[in-house]
Structure 1
Amino acid sequence: MYDMKAFYEAVSVPHAIQLLQEHPEAQIIAGGSDVLVQMREGKRAGVELVSIYGLDELRGVTLEENGTIRIGSLTSFSHITKDPVIQKYINVLGEAVDKVGGPQIRNIGTIGGNTCNGVTSADSAATLHAWDAIVEVTGPEGVRHIPIHDFYIRAKVVDLRPAEIQTAILLPKESYGGYFGHYIKYGMRNAMEIATLGCSVNVKLSEDKKTAEDVRIAFGVAGPVPMRTPAAEAVLRGREYSEDLIRATADAVLQDINPRDSWRAGKAFREHMAEVMTERALRESIRLAGGDLS
């Protein structure tokens, strides 16, 4: 059923790196919700696997002394959704990963696997872009910290060098403090569905709740990799928000995105949905931040 050449089980991060150096053709397996499916389809026939699933040091969410939220790369989607640190500071991430697959997938699937597979439709990816997340990778040369915008190189390719593994997702305090966000996923079904389009928005309002001091708008499936929309963000950033300005911001996302035609949806449909989802996500983010659009 599963055609593999060899299976190696790491007992620590240094051991995983050692195994990858000793077996340069080997591939990482964590929860296996993507890898095992691909193997069964014959896409990875004869593969060597290095399992990191037993590395509990890569699990869990912690709030560090400097305010950085650290999410271990083996933390499951279910854990993220229920974690009190996530719920208190970045609840939208828990909401986003709660839209992945079904309960079985969310129990075994990991945030590291979801980002390292490099696909633009990953439900965590747009939200992590909207939070200005940092990816921590560890390898023979030590630890690297990569802004998530730079981690995605092209479709299904991420910035992992030989024998490196992703060890954490980091959210510095300045990335989430005072921000409120909302994620919208569009698909043909409400569950067990790959996103046709995903939109994640964060806003930070002024003290009087009338001005959008900062705004971040990110998309999945609006291009070959998850992306931010700088032209659209600039329309609203630093200005007193209004319905007209929200609509202008939504219109401006078309300057940033480049969705494709596929059997799931056409380019024109995705562009239309991007505008609609931006408006809705902005309104909800402003409401969550204490703003009033009435």
Structure 2
Amino acid sequence: MFDIKEIKEPKSLDEALKVLDSNTKLKIISGGTDVLIKLHHGKFNDAELLSIKNLDTLRDIKVLEDNTISIGANVTFSDIFRSEVINNNIPILSEAAVSMGGPQIRNMATIGGNICNGAVSADSAPALFSLNAELKLKSLNNERIVKITEFYDGPGKVKIQRNEILTEILIKEENYKNKRGRYIKFANRKALDISMLGVALLYEIEDNSFKDLRISLGVASPTPIRCKNAENFAIGKGVTNEVINKVAELAKMDSNPRNSWRGSRDYRLHLISTLIKRILNDDLIKSEVK
């Protein structure tokens, strides 16, 4: 039996913000796939919940007038990988979405919940880091935009105020136009397992050289990370085996994985190098530079 003291179900975002402002002890819940597990393990006593599941205004995936892609916080992972907007413009996020759990979980779990849970293994995080996603956070009397790369504050910790709700994930056109990418999740099992390592690469090639390269990792540090040294090294350089190997080595140096029962530090470092080289060799040399 879940230890739930109270659950409030507002009918609108404005109502939700008012309720939250009056009681900042409320724990926000949408799909509930993370919160219910914590309740099951007794991590919350007398839980007070604010369900935003029925706020349809947070369920849209749309392209704004300036071609920014807007993804509502209540959008599920099934919504993402079925979306034409996502698949036509940022398929790297669709790859991340379909790798998350099984069909039942994907039908319930929301991208907003996946981000705000702060888990280093969140499947959406590496793809969103590579896309330079921005987060719109609203409170009763304020609204602010935060870069996702500045949102994580440690394992399971994010920089959201107690009276704020994440409403939208925003991806500007400059961060997806003319870019290709790929996300690989490595886990001990092929299905229904938490990521041992997540690798997201987004790149743009011009004249057989890297015009842009973004490498993001999950479960390679206390929070998801961008491999800045590896990225900066590649810009302007030709897409060659020598450059790719150096990029992979620099990415290992940018990371700081830990030992855990899912995999050792050394094995994760090996995976970082191997998966980066696999993506760049398979997806670039074979399809772009031939």
TM-score range normalised by the length of the shorter chain: over 0.9
Cα distance in 2 for residues equivalent to 1:6 and 1:100: 30
Quote the sequence identity (%).
37
Cα distance in 1 for residues equivalent to 2:170 and 2:158: 17
The alignment partner of 2:70 has SS state of strand
Query: Mind listing any 5+ residue stretches in structure 2 that lack a counterpart?
Result: none
- 2:69 aligned partner: 69
Deviation of 1:142 after TM superposition, in Å, equals: 1.8
Partners of 1:201 and 1:218 within 8 A in 2: yes
Does residue 111 in structure 1 map to residue 145 in structure 2? no
Partners of 1:137 and 1:144 within 8 A in 2: yes
- 1:138 aligned partner: 138
- 1:232 aligned partner: 230
* TM-score normalized by the length of structure 1: 0.96
Cα distance, 1:164–1:285 mapped onto 2, change above 3 Å: farther
Q: How does 1:38-57 map to 2 (within 5 A)?
A: 38-57=38-57
The alignment partner of 2:214 has SS state of strand
- 2:124 aligned partner: 124
Does residue 82 in structure 1 map to residue 116 in structure 2? no
The alignment partner of 1:170 has SS state of strand
- 1:165 aligned partner: 165
Deviation of 1:94 after TM superposition, in Å, equals: 0.5
Partners of 2:25 and 2:162 within 8 A in 1: no
- 2:26 aligned partner: 26
Instruction: Give me the CA root mean square deviation.
Output: 1.2
Corresponding letter in the other structure for 2:166:
Q
Cα distance in 1 for residues equivalent to 2:37 and 2:155: 19
Deviation of 1:237 after TM superposition, in Å, equals: 1.2
* Cα displacement string for residues 17-38 of structure 1 (whole angstroms, at most 9, x for unaligned residues): 1111222211101001111121
Cα distance in 2 for residues equivalent to 1:278 and 1:88: 23
Name the stretch that deviates more: 9-18 or 101-110: 9-18
Corresponding letter in the other structure for 2:156:
K
Partners of 1:229 and 1:253 within 8 A in 2: yes
Name the stretch that deviates more: 99-108 or 20-29: 20-29
Cα distance in 2 for residues equivalent to 1:257 and 1:186: 16
- 2:203 aligned partner: 203
Partners of 1:180 and 1:285 within 8 A in 2: no
Cα distance in 2 for residues equivalent to 1:194 and 1:203: 26
Cα distance in 1 for residues equivalent to 2:164 and 2:237: 43
Partners of 2:21 and 2:139 within 8 A in 1: no
* TM-score normalized by the length of structure 2: 0.97
Deviation of 1:287 after TM superposition, in Å, equals: 5.6
Partners of 1:180 and 1:204 within 8 A in 2: yes
Does residue 291 in structure 1 map to residue 281 in structure 2? no
The alignment partner of 1:125 has SS state of helix
Does residue 192 in structure 1 map to residue 198 in structure 2? no
Deviation of 1:286 after TM superposition, in Å, equals: 2.3
* Cα displacement string for residues 169-196 of structure 1 (whole angstroms, at most 9, x for unaligned residues): 1000011111100011110111101000
Deviation of 1:102 after TM superposition, in Å, equals: 0.3
Moved over 4 A (4+): none
Query: Mind listing any 5+ residue stretches in structure 1 that lack a counterpart?
Result: none
The alignment partner of 2:49 has SS state of strand
- 2:214 aligned partner: 216
Cα distance in 1 for residues equivalent to 2:61 and 2:7: 29
Partners of 2:202 and 2:213 within 8 A in 1: yes
Deviation of 1:285 after TM superposition, in Å, equals: 4.2
* Cα displacement string for residues 124-175 of structure 1 (whole angstroms, at most 9, x for unaligned residues): 0001001110011111332111110001111111111121000011000011
Cα distance in 2 for residues equivalent to 1:2 and 1:287: 53
Deviation of 1:243 after TM superposition, in Å, equals: 1.1
Count of residues in correspondence between the two structures: 290
- 1:253 aligned partner: 251
